[in-house]
Structure 1
């Protein structure tokens, strides 16, 4: 498709029509033959969605008459986008913008068409739907990258597409995403270096000159320096940093500011804040990047690449001779500017290095210093206030709903069938719009087994932090999600004394709870197969004494997973050795470059 566009742009008007007849744009133009009135001269297709269904014959005649006129292509692009024909829509919009790049309002329409290739659903109705969505994404990403690379004038649109959509939901499909992430990451770096040619030379190629007494300058970059799961897991790296060895520089690109932000600021020798707002601002973004480069960091650590688009726009540059990512979002970044991935030796499976484009570094234990949640000894809530009965066996299934894949639905049904008065409690947060399609899918699975969803399942509204902790205290069993395990939620369950059942997955992100239980020395509720998972969940649901015994053991051992700093010390030793290795290397650091 990109080659068709380039050929069309190079041809004179009398030849352009011939190529157009062979392109994806032609078919929709053949649908109607009756003439329609011409649009007003100030017609803006991107501002009037839905208005062009009757105008196909008009745009056909306009393109046939003058293939180098921009407005018919823009109108056609919007028409095709509305009808789901993404490839043709993008080609039409790109043709329009190539002819009239000054029409700024058209970029919104083109961007909406681009987004059609990268958008993924949060909830899948079936496993087949998941695989189809994955295939569509892979094909769309390949086409989108090919199009923007074949026509450099469209790189500005590529930047906007990256700023609009991050492959967040891709990583929740339970598959090894390394190849797709690497493809996306390379595209991000090339796009940044092309659109911001004045920033590209600022990237460090070699370590700075340091005197013998200089501490290492460590820069932590995040879009979540506030009360969030990323800070719960990783703020301990700042809290317990050895200030005789390190200077801490923190770079926050986000919008929220709370007590956690204040703490991070106090823990930092320098704290830079870019209030990102709702729309991407290239000038403020560039100023934020320039400020970070001026600090001449020795090590840059991206805490949460993949959680949102901002961290891809930051991680796509090199800010230090040694650049790392870690598991604030536990998936490889795919960015060629990131050298190392900082993980946990408890969480990684065998041959884990094949899952990462970065060099994998496994820190001892959990690799973090997680602060024990300040949970009150007794909950103030009772079950009745949450719509739960005292005689029910409450299974807490508290992960984000997009972690629950359709192939695991049968497990919840089997547990409900086997345990009298079983109640599976899900949470609608953090994206309440996912609850209706999830409930509909799970209700169908229960109905197929002759069970009523409402008799066995509850989806609670979003809970405050304190309410969530109390919910853990009121529950009987914590059921971990399959393929993407809970980390913060599992640690909070342990702090509340709640028994945890988990099934380790094939990837690090499916092994958090198993790592926590292994660190505690409580491995009896770690399943080996889905059938084993069901048996453990059913056994705990039916055996109150077993549950109580586990609660006592959790209370006795829980200190093993909270405020442990041996991983932090190992991290700092790694920083020193990585900087030393970089100083000894003869070749310069890889950086984001245009045209690579």
Structure 2
């Protein structure tokens, strides 16, 4: 969790430093921090145009449209000849439904910048709303003349041409993302400002700067460290977090930031002491680490719940219990809404895509609420087609999204994000539906009021684990994680082309490197030492991280070149790589989860070691559902022995691969229709309890009986 900037009554900082700090924070998605920095700048210099302008951008992204409009008005009072400011102000007016004012603002923007393609397009949108389709068509045409790849303008133009009865011409073939065209500060501006801010903060935090207070210094170190972490320089970030932690007071998120940077940079020596410090913090009611980072380090499910609760309060603010929403009126179908920023090629969506498509539309009305900006095609288009109604809500505030769900009379709101990047958990503080569900997006409890159920299975959440969850447990009869049976697998290139030996044994561990714990890595190195010619195939996060892992290997007595790293690839090509490996090795305490499911889908056997928490039991659930319980171990010693035995037993491994391939068509894991029906039965029971006026309660979904619908 980002740190707060120094208070307004602290030492005066240069205007340019505060502006670039706000820009860097906006670039990092730290909207509350960016707002505080800019408001501090304006308290020092109320006539700073860029601060008003950038603050308006931040407020707009936070969903405070009226406040953003006032900030743009203040900016334009200082500099009326800024076309982007007029354009952004017009966009807010359009969002607020003030079409006549929006048209006037777009006209001002275009008068100042005649080649402002996005403004021409948006002007056409306004004209269409005002009932002037011919004029709107001309605006869209002008936008396309200026920027032929402006996809939104192209689609609007063709739709209007068809509506007006004209022959639609050939549309431009290359779509583009028009969102940056109207941004006050585009991505390049953010990158430049972030880099400039980093250099400024470096000078601010040197010992030679006697004017910087301890608070200002650790704050600046933390901000710079977070920027470096986002720029994939975790080792450098860790150094700054460590310096900041030495002078910061208790109660900051610095221990968690340092933990994340150390795990990403393979800085393993400091992990035990840092884990002990965070455990002490959690035990004393101090939330000093993000939940997703803590799952990488700890296998204590009680601390997972405490971490989620404390972080949720920090993220959303302490709040009274979320009020219950009266149940919706019974209708012919149950209305279910899935909420996420990741309706794209993402692990969660890859798992759920076919489930969305398989929902029984005679009994369920399925909605998507997408609050991430649209990106990519392919998977996104498939996901769109999988819903009856697909709502783009990234421009709405949390309260507005919740209100929209209530207006649609949604019965069940399903969160697919939890504490992952881009989350909008604040929506659930406004009770968007009578029933709220936590489903697979975050591997664990959210620790929040406002969520009624978490969906899993009996392996993931065994009897006795109820105390580790703030939600009521719903256990499906099969595996908690569904499988998309439409995943294509490309033809894999030969081993040599992938940097692998033709004859040596290939262990594969395609989890993100930050999941690699030193005790698991030590097992892997012992396996390589005992199997001459074998290699370990890993995911390349960055060249620096790969070199650090090779350094750890060499200190363990293994040649660094026996670690082979795979770069990014298209999804079907990524799946194909598994066909060139011999055995998948899981991580602990944070299992591979969707990655291990991918390996099995491609025919690669995988082994795991069962831990205590949700995230340490996920791979066990997957392997058992695939009919492969013998690949599950209960200790790292057994895990190592099993891997070594299989590597030395080619006949046993070959037979195992045949069973893995057979499981693609004959296992609980890949019976996606049964998963969809089980999930629907769970939804039906949740809604039935709600409509009967009963509180949420844990239950197990029975297996589907033969011949049932």
Calculate the TM-score normalised by the size of structure 1: 0.71
> Which residue number corresponds to residue 360 of structure 1?
473
C-alpha spacing 1:379/1:210, structure 2 compared with 1 (3 Å)? same
CA drift of 1:137 comes to: 8.5
Q: Distance in 1 between matches of 2:316 and 2:208?
A: 40
Alignment of 1:538 onto 2:690: no
> Which residue number corresponds to residue 574 of structure 1?
682
Contact 1:247 1:269 in 2 (8 A): yes
> Which residue number corresponds to residue 158 of structure 1?
none
Contact 2:357 2:387 in 1 (8 A): no
C-alpha spacing 1:236/1:77, structure 2 compared with 1 (3 Å)? closer
Q: Deviations over 1:537-565 (max 9, x none)?
A: 11222222122111222222322122432
Alignment of 1:389 onto 2:501: yes
Highest relative contact order (Cα 8 Å, sep 6+), 1 or 2? 1
Q: Distance in 1 between matches of 2:418 and 2:215?
A: 36
C-alpha spacing 1:412/1:373, structure 2 compared with 1 (3 Å)? farther
Report matched runs for 1:95-494 at 5 Å: 116=254, 118-119=256-257, 120-121=260-261, 122-123=263-264, 124-126=266-268, 128-132=270-274, 135-136=277-278, 139=281, 167-175=291-299, 176=301, 177-190=304-317, 205-211=324-330, 213-255=331-373, 256-275=375-394, 284-376=397-489, 379-428=491-540, 432-433=541-542, 436-437=544-545, 439-440=547-548, 442-454=549-561, 456-494=562-600
Alignment of 1:556 onto 2:662: yes
Choose 341-350 or 326-335, whichever is displaced more.
Answer: 341-350
Q: Secondary structure at the match of 1:426?
A: strand
Show structure 2 runs of 5+ residues with no match: 1-5, 11-43, 52-195, 225-239, 698-709
Q: Distance in 1 between matches of 2:531 and 2:446?
A: 42
Contact 1:117 1:141 in 2 (8 A): no
Report matched runs for 1:63-74 at 5 Å: none
C-alpha spacing 1:364/1:382, structure 2 compared with 1 (3 Å)? same
C-alpha spacing 1:115/1:187, structure 2 compared with 1 (3 Å)? closer
Q: Deviations over 1:85-106 (max 9, x none)?
A: 4697789xxxxxxxxxxxxxxx
Contact 2:663 2:670 in 1 (8 A): no
Q: Distance in 2 between matches of 1:410 and 1:75?
A: 38
Q: Distance in 2 between matches of 1:78 and 1:141?
A: 28
Q: Secondary structure at the match of 2:317?
A: helix
> Which residue number corresponds to residue 97 of structure 1?
none
CA drift of 1:399 comes to: 0.7
Q: Secondary structure at the match of 1:372?
A: coil
CA drift of 1:166 comes to: 5.4
C-alpha spacing 1:438/1:174, structure 2 compared with 1 (3 Å)? farther
C-alpha spacing 1:246/1:417, structure 2 compared with 1 (3 Å)? same
Q: Secondary structure at the match of 1:220?
A: strand
Q: Distance in 1 between matches of 2:446 and 2:462?
A: 18
Q: Out of 614, 624, 634, which is 1:528 matched to?
A: 634
Q: Deviations over 1:567-592 (max 9, x none)?
A: 32222222222222223337899xxx
Q: Distance in 2 between matches of 1:58 and 1:490?
A: 53
Q: Deviations over 1:276-302 (max 9, x none)?
A: 7xxxxxx65554343233223211111
Q: Distance in 1 between matches of 2:290 and 2:275?
A: 15
Q: Secondary structure at the match of 1:210?
A: coil
C-alpha spacing 1:46/1:115, structure 2 compared with 1 (3 Å)? farther
Q: Deviations over 1:391-428 (max 9, x none)?
A: 11111111111111112221011100111211100012
C-alpha spacing 1:134/1:214, structure 2 compared with 1 (3 Å)? farther
Q: Distance in 1 between matches of 2:601 and 2:691?
A: 43
Q: Distance in 2 between matches of 1:542 and 1:78?
A: 54
Contact 1:481 1:502 in 2 (8 A): yes
Q: Distance in 1 between matches of 2:687 and 2:583?
A: 45
Q: Secondary structure at the match of 1:361?
A: strand
Q: Distance in 1 between matches of 2:594 and 2:348?
A: 9
Contact 1:59 1:76 in 2 (8 A): no
Q: Distance in 2 between matches of 1:474 and 1:573?
A: 40
C-alpha spacing 1:252/1:481, structure 2 compared with 1 (3 Å)? same
CA drift of 1:519 comes to: 1.9
Q: Distance in 2 between matches of 1:480 and 1:450?
A: 22
Q: Distance in 1 between matches of 2:577 and 2:696?
A: 53
Q: Distance in 2 between matches of 1:262 and 1:533?
A: 41
C-alpha spacing 1:565/1:143, structure 2 compared with 1 (3 Å)? same
Q: Distance in 2 between matches of 1:532 and 1:118?
A: 31
Q: Out of 605, 609, 613, which is 1:499 matched to?
A: 605
C-alpha spacing 1:233/1:374, structure 2 compared with 1 (3 Å)? closer
Q: Secondary structure at the match of 1:502?
A: strand
Q: Distance in 2 between matches of 1:528 and 1:586?
A: 39
C-alpha spacing 1:586/1:168, structure 2 compared with 1 (3 Å)? closer
Q: Secondary structure at the match of 2:339?
A: strand
Show structure 1 runs of 5+ residues with no match: 10-40, 61-71, 92-112, 147-164, 195-199, 277-282, 590-596
Q: Distance in 1 between matches of 2:501 and 2:287?
A: 54
> Which residue number corresponds to residue 18 of structure 2?
none
Give the number of equivalent residue pairs: 481
Q: Distance in 1 between matches of 2:676 and 2:441?
A: 16
Q: Secondary structure at the match of 1:235?
A: helix
